Structure 1
Amino acid sequence: MSSSNAYAGPWSSLPTTLTPWIMDVINSMGFARMTPVQASTIPLFMKHKDVVVEAVTGSGKTLAFVIPVLEKLIRRERKLKENEVGALIISPTRELATQIHSVFSLFLSSQPRSEEGEASSSKPTYPSPLLLVSSDSSPAEDVRRFMSTGADIVIGTPGRIDEFLLGKGKDTVSVKELEVLVLDEADRLLDLGFQSTLTRILSHLPKQRRTGLFSATMTDADALSELVRAGLRNPARVVVKVQSKKSKINKASGENKSTRGEVLEERRIPANLQNMSISCRSSEKLVQLSRIIRHEVSQHHCSRFIVYFSTCACVDYFYRILPSFMPPNTTLYSLHGHLPPATRERTLNNFKSSPATPLVPSVLLATDVAARGLDIPDVDVVVQFDPPSDTKAFSHRCGRTARAGRSGRAWVLLVGRERDYVDFLAVRKIPLTDHGRFARDDGVLPLLDPDSNEDEDPAVLSAQTEIRQTLLTDRSLHDKAAKAYVSFVRAYSKHEAAYIFRIRDLDLVGTAKCFGLLRLPRMPELDQIPRNGWQDADVDWNSYAYADKQREAKRITESEKQKVAVADIQKRRRERQEKKKANAAWSSKVVKQDEKLKRKEKKGKKREWLKLNQPEPEVGEKRQRGESVSEGSDAGADDWDELAREERMAKKVKKGVVSQDAFDGEFGEL
């Protein structure tokens, strides 16, 4: 699909004419012409072909299976019974399932009613959808709703579909007449632990069915394994490629002008999407995010943004500290997987329906839970604060803008050697254009060399100070900051492109500045790195309180308990030391030292007694005995020999050659 040819023809050009009321709904949605994926897929699906469809986000894949499903069920010769399912749609997330259900509901709410059909059948004349997601009802209630509504199109996530067909509804729900199975975001469904669930579901379904796999990212190897796993029979492969014009660069002059015309570049992102990257320091990411949004609001009059973070904790934290860095009157929304399903749905609906304008921008902070399949038509800008761990998610994220032929802009922030990610994505046909860093005055600074010694942006210190002042208002914000920082580092260390996103190359101190931490948390990754340029905030941690009075009271109580416990430990330690000191005289080592002193005292007395009571022998007598005669010699020489002999035997005692009793017998008595 070329950017200049975003549409493939009128709906009337389909080989099979659509049902009039379905055509009316399509016209009311403003889709006068088909997109290439719709023009390629709908005829195949309606001709009883299995299909594998790969097309960029925002290309109209949902209608490419919604319309054939409706047409197949409408054209059935025999209407389905109360307990029979006609079509099964499985999606990886409840948000996407809800969105697909809303599209079916939009069509089916406009279907004409046949009084004869209603009276002659226990089911409605035309299909009706049933949504199965975890927050709406229990599995048993799902079965009751299915029977009471007479629904024959079931839409849900793998777990709830599995429970609906093989759990609570095993003896009630029949799939013998199943016409169509659709796996939306098929690559995601066949990843991340859904394999066993899908295998059970597929083995339960009849082989005489039509199956469609739809996704924006499927490699050839992925598709082959998915075909085998999903049980498709001789499927038709539909790959809708995007090609955009790319000017050749005149290498001699460096100008972006072509001497031979323009070349076509294949892309896995919408043709109307401007995809840009900014290289900066870790400490500057928050500053750059703020400047990107302000630039888009003031220069391009953008009003609706999605900012992606790597973890739920990061979304939760930045949702609380970003307001002061956003343009005036900005409304922030938070969406991540740890929120209750009802909260996620409410947040998404509020963001979609918010009256966003350049004077009142709306910014959704999200994880990859909002990356796939969600159709928010008027998103102007996508910013990837953290590149995704799963590289497939990159195109899904930036594909939330530039949908259905609209233009859009996307940014990704890269730090240090993450610039290699640009080449990595280029190989995967996701082009990125380098863009300089934004200056304080909305000017553009040159690209940052990873090895540059350029001074850090002065705005980093002021931003860090401002964040710290915010954190000091509530100790729970400090807890969220530490949790977000640790979760980010953990996620970074598990990045799929590990040769680019290396934890040892990440500036952890600069990242801590970006997060505005009061102090560095205790974690192994920080043990061996220099902390140049880092200074803990001046905080009295004993009086640093939670804004929530109940939580603060609990903290004080726990703090007092901890003080008592510490005092108790110190008391027991002192008691052990005193007891050890009191019992030290009974230890074998001290006893030996005491005995040695006694022996030395006895020997000293013995020398004194010999000196006083034995006469000095004559020189001749000494010579006769072979003793040396020298000036100053005296009876003390014997004592030195005795001491040397005692020392030699003491060493033998120490080695275990001589027993202690033998030693004491030799030297312990006079």
Structure 2
Amino acid sequence: MSTTAFAGSWHTLPTPLTAWVLDVIQSLGHQQMTPVQASSIPLFMKRKDVVVEAVTGSGKTLAFTVPVLEQLLRREHPLRRNEIGALIISPTRELATQIHSVFETFLQSQPEGSDKIPAPLLLISSSDSSPTHDIVRFQETGADIVIGTPGRIEEFLLGKGRTVVSVKELEVLVLDEADRLLDLGFQDTLTKILTHLPKQRRTGLFSATMTDADALSELVRVGLRNPARIVVKVQTKKVIGGKTQLVEERRTPANLSNFYLTCKASEKLLQLTRIVKHEVSTNDSSQFIVYFATGACVDYFYGVLKDILPSSYTLHSLHGHLSPAARTKTLAAFSSSISTPSSPAILLATDIAARGLDLPHVHVVVQFDPPTDPKAFSHRCGRTARAGRAGRAWVILVGREIAYVDLLSIRKIPLKKRNAFDADLNEIRDESDERGEDIEVAETQQRIRYRLLTDRALHDEAAKAFVSFVRAYTKHEASYIFRLKDFDLVGAAKAYGLLRLPKMPELKDADREGWSDEVVDWDSFAYANPAQEAKRQLERENASEKRKQERIAYEQRQQRKKTNTAWSNKVVKQQEKDVRKSKKVAKKAWEKEESKKRQHEEVDVDDAEANDGGEADNDWNDLAREERMAKKLKKGGISQKDFDMEFGDL
């Protein structure tokens, strides 16, 4: 059985903590240090640069919060009102807000009568705050600690606040989720900020996943000097033959049970609902996070799952396309929700909720879509089993995606196999490809379709979500595993409950066996929102009118083409036409004449042959008669005179 490792009491630190800081730590329930805290806090307090890599939920936030506070408290001279002493940069506004709340918890507990550290300043994009307002708030509060996202901090230090904010006395710089900050999207901004900061400072890089390519090769660029590298690993050891041997090393929390489940693409949504119900009924789980590939998928399934899951389930949605205010409201509502197994809370999210967020009551994480970046896998799983608590994580794989399990194993993220669930939440033992499609797939698909038919806007969301999923699938970094040509897109379309398959090149050669479009009168298929429907009708009329005008314009162009043809061209063309016509008439007349000649010649030949035959017959008759008469003459039957009179002229 996994147990949480601790590394001694807070009192064992080489440099004792300030009394009220220690009181706050213990009031938060942290009676002992975790390994990452015991390793990094002494070094950071000794003004050493550190690069810290530790699994999610291992206490990294306190590992830099405590040293920052202690260094500011130990300054010989207080900071002036326009000077800042600590800068914490986070990749997302949600994580920055969480870090800000941790610092606020400490600073609100400062004893009266001491030189208090002012309230920390949070710099994130918000409808309630602008860069100008950030400067005003800084001047009003005189904050020593500034926490924010890269873009907003750049504007604060190098934009509107360049002549207002002084960084000459900066003590500490912290880059939280450093590997994400060093990605291409933040490199230029981060470089500008670091160039602006004084070199005499302490810098800490903290993350759960930090490879050499991500961080160590960038240390010179970000300005660390002789940093101490701290790597905290989760290891399972076992006594074998009287010797302690390492059984397993992993990059996920020790108390996390990590499972994978394989199913057909068409059964994916069905298996998601069954996993949730299984966890509720078997393990009394009440808080879930379900990860999808895109924000469009989150929006769509947020509406669909309401009709599939029991009405007692509460759903929340979180992704990067929501407004800052909506994201803050959703996160607060989910984290503060009072959920029970009879009324569980489910957060549908993208990777915006994968890193750094401390949601202590999350029992189960389900990855409906594996992340595009394999590094995000451990971050997603790490939203549960935090700070020594137990947690469970699932990932749903389709077809050859099972090779992803081996990839994660190489990355020291072990997964245990679980079979798909049937309608009674029992595991299906027959996992062969020949197993027929679950009978509830068609029922669920039709159920979703009925829902989509009530509002054309839902149909639009479904198509948008499906297309965005396909686009995201093609961008997987492990492209040799996630190959679109091997994925059953038509089966996925069933899981999405689409009314018809979108017209997209990826579906051109797809096997459509078992698929049928819903019979829909698309002209009358309306939006539930009257304004949207009025807009659609107007667009239809405009499109019809446009087609009519295009047809008229085409006919007019053809007419103008005829009318505007040069007179000389007309004459030449007419002459050519007349010549062709006369040749055709002459040819027909010649053919007719030739036919008549042939007929006459045939008649003449017949007559000639007939005449020649008659004359020949007469000659033969005369000779025969003469011979007979000669015989009579010889016998004395006739006189010579009579013979000569008849045959003398022959």
TM-score range, shorter chain: 0.7 to 0.9
Residues 110 and 116, structure 2, Cα contact 8 Å, conserved in 1: no
SS of the equivalent of 2:174 reads strand
Give, in whole Å, the separation in 1 of the partners of 2:50 and 2:36: 11
- 1:206 paired with 2:205, answer no
Other-structure match for 1:366: 349
Residues 118 and 141, structure 2, Cα contact 8 Å, conserved in 1: no
Give, in whole Å, the separation in 2 of the partners of 1:589 and 1:415: 68
Residues 238 and 244, structure 2, Cα contact 8 Å, conserved in 1: no
1:599 CA drift (Å): 2.1
1:113 CA drift (Å): 2.1
Q: 1:301 to 1:139 in 2, by over 3 A?
A: same
For residues 201-234 of structure 1, give each alpha carbon's deviation from its aligned partner in whole angstroms, at most 9, with x where no partner exists: 1111111110000000011332322312211110
Q: 1:192 to 1:69 in 2, by over 3 A?
A: same
Give, in whole Å, the separation in 1 of the partners of 2:455 and 2:242: 62
1:125 CA drift (Å): 3.0
Q: 1:98 to 1:504 in 2, by over 3 A?
A: same
Other-structure match for 2:408: 425
Q: 1:599 to 1:401 in 2, by over 3 A?
A: same
- 1:138 paired with 2:130, answer yes
SS of the equivalent of 2:214 reads helix
Higher Rg? 2
1:579 CA drift (Å): 8.6
Q: For residue 278 of structure 1, what is the amino acid of its counterpart?
A: L
Provide the alpha-carbon RMSD of the alignment.
Answer: 2.8
1:144 CA drift (Å): 1.5
Other-structure match for 1:388: 371
Other-structure match for 1:488: 469
1:323 CA drift (Å): 1.2
- Segments of structure 2 that go 5 or more residues without pairing to the other structure are 607-650
Q: 1:588 to 1:406 in 2, by over 3 A?
A: farther
Give, in whole Å, the separation in 2 of the partners of 1:67 and 1:278: 41
Equivalent runs, 1:202-241 vs 2, <5 Å: 202-241=194-233
Q: 1:610 to 1:326 in 2, by over 3 A?
A: closer
- 1:379 paired with 2:353, answer no
Aligned length: 598
1:184 CA drift (Å): 0.1
Other-structure match for 1:255: none
Residues 178 and 215, structure 2, Cα contact 8 Å, conserved in 1: no
Give the TM-score, by structure 2 length. Answer: 0.87
Residues 304 and 361, structure 1, Cα contact 8 Å, conserved in 2: yes
Q: 1:437 to 1:245 in 2, by over 3 A?
A: farther
Give, in whole Å, the separation in 2 of the partners of 1:13 and 1:394: 35
Q: For residue 73 of structure 2, what is the amino acid of its counterpart?
A: I
- 1:242 paired with 2:228, answer no
Other-structure match for 1:10: 9
Other-structure match for 1:625: none
Give, in whole Å, the separation in 1 of the partners of 2:200 and 2:525: 67
Q: 1:612 to 1:426 in 2, by over 3 A?
A: closer
1:327 CA drift (Å): 3.5
Q: 1:264 to 1:609 in 2, by over 3 A?
A: closer
Give, in whole Å, the separation in 1 of the partners of 2:430 and 2:116: 63
Equivalent runs, 1:547-626 vs 2, <5 Å: 547-572=528-553, 592=576, 595-602=579-586
Residues 237 and 244, structure 2, Cα contact 8 Å, conserved in 1: no
1:488 CA drift (Å): 0.3
Other-structure match for 1:667: none
Other-structure match for 1:477: 458
Residues 294 and 327, structure 1, Cα contact 8 Å, conserved in 2: no
Residues 262 and 397, structure 2, Cα contact 8 Å, conserved in 1: yes
Other-structure match for 2:78: 79
Give, in whole Å, the separation in 1 of the partners of 2:49 and 2:124: 26
Q: 1:78 to 1:594 in 2, by over 3 A?
A: same
Q: 1:260 to 1:423 in 2, by over 3 A?
A: farther
Q: 1:209 to 1:30 in 2, by over 3 A?
A: same
Other-structure match for 1:168: 160
Give, in whole Å, the separation in 1 of the partners of 2:414 and 2:103: 34
Q: For residue 68 of structure 1, what is the amino acid of its counterpart?
A: P
Equivalent runs, 1:526-537 vs 2, <5 Å: 526-537=507-518
For residues 609-658 of structure 1, give each alpha carbon's deviation from its aligned partner in whole angstroms, at most 9, with x where no partner exists: 99999xx99xxxxxxxxxxxx979xxxxxxxxxxxxxxxxxxxxxxxxxx
- 1:62 paired with 2:61, answer yes
Residues 132 and 154, structure 1, Cα contact 8 Å, conserved in 2: yes
Give, in whole Å, the separation in 2 of the partners of 1:574 and 1:611: 47
- 1:291 paired with 2:274, answer yes
Residues 283 and 513, structure 1, Cα contact 8 Å, conserved in 2: yes
Other-structure match for 1:316: 299
Other-structure match for 2:120: 129
Residues 435 and 447, structure 1, Cα contact 8 Å, conserved in 2: no
SS of the equivalent of 2:229 reads strand
For residues 278-335 of structure 1, give each alpha carbon's deviation from its aligned partner in whole angstroms, at most 9, with x where no partner exists: 1111111100000000000011100000000000000011000101222340000000
Give, in whole Å, the separation in 1 of the partners of 2:482 and 2:422: 26
1:397 CA drift (Å): 0.2
Residues 3 and 243, structure 1, Cα contact 8 Å, conserved in 2: no
Give, in whole Å, the separation in 2 of the partners of 1:476 and 1:612: 79
Residues 4 and 388, structure 2, Cα contact 8 Å, conserved in 1: no
Give, in whole Å, the separation in 1 of the partners of 2:346 and 2:276: 9
Give, in whole Å, the separation in 2 of the partners of 1:54 and 1:221: 14
- Segments of structure 1 that go 5 or more residues without pairing to the other structure are 118-123, 249-257, 618-629, 633-670
Give the TM-score, by structure 1 length. Answer: 0.85
SS of the equivalent of 2:369 reads coil
Identity, % of aligned pairs? 63
Equivalent runs, 1:188-207 vs 2, <5 Å: 188-207=180-199
- 1:45 paired with 2:44, answer yes
